[in-house]
Copies of this chain bind each other. A is one copy, B any other.
């Protein structure tokens, strides 16, 4: 039985500044079928509030509790560990970390910083690691599909750079972290084996969800998908379909 659906955002619902054909309707059909939905993204260039506004602009109204972002998970981690962040994040994301007091314990927090991935920021983060700070990756994605339609370097490349130089191993908070999937599933009281994940990233979304114990994961051939992705990472997708509209068809057909 499928009793809960997790959907990725970029490359599944929208691509750049437009929604993907049939995507908004697909969400509506899943909702009409009374399937609980959560949206789970590794996007770290916008705050949660900015993401919600963007989705509303696309005609997709979701509430705060339905959207799971790595930055929220990072704030939780910092609070639990009584640590202050050393940020290597996009300027748009900095406000997510406002109001955290200076603390003796520190953690380098790396998101998709874009142009802020410069030597000064990265070397300051490296020196904090040498001084004993922890290393938190909001995500470790290798690439993302940029506004010009080409692949660009994502946060994972820079997380790996810091790991290599410092000898630290990053704690990854976004997908494919099992805790990240688990948090979204818990919020809709759905057991992993009863859930399906839909994403365009064969590694973090699909293989990650299956490794985290989800019963099914559907890869869509939109967004950053490139030919051959369905066999590039283990485990392989439960199904590979053209887009979210086809994924909704698949979910509704395989619901029970």
* Residues in chain A within 8 A of chain B (CB atoms): 113-120, 122-123, 126-127, 130, 142-143, 150-154, 156-158, 160-162, 164-165
| 22 sample A-B contacts, Cβ–Cβ < 8 Å, listed by A number | A113-B119, A114-B119, A116-B119, A117-B119, A117-B122, A118-B119, A122-B157, A123-B153, A126-B143, A126-B151, A126-B152, A126-B157, A127-B150, A127-B151, A130-B150, A142-B165, A153-B161, A153-B165, A154-B165, A156-B164, A157-B161, A160-B160
CB distance from A202 to the nearest CB of B (A): 13
Interface of A is mostly: helix
A123 touching B152 by the CB < 8 A rule? Answer: yes
Closest B residue by C-beta to A142: B165
Q: How far is the CA of A156 from the CA of B167 in the complex (A)?
A: 12
Closest B residue by C-beta to A116: B119
Interfacial chain B residues near A118, Cβ < 8 Å: 115, 117-119
B151 touching A130 by the CB < 8 A rule? Answer: yes
A164 touching B151 by the CB < 8 A rule? Answer: no
Q: How far is the CA of A210 from the CA of B158 in the complex (A)?
A: 31
Interfacial chain B residues near A156, Cβ < 8 Å: 164-165
CB distance from A159 to the nearest CB of B (A): 8
Q: How far is the CA of A143 from the CA of B162 in the complex (A)?
A: 11
Interfacial chain B residues near A160, Cβ < 8 Å: 160-161, 164
Q: How far is the CA of A161 from the CA of B143 in the complex (A)?
A: 11
Q: How far is the CA of A164 from the CA of B141 in the complex (A)?
A: 10
CB distance from A198 to the nearest CB of B (A): 24
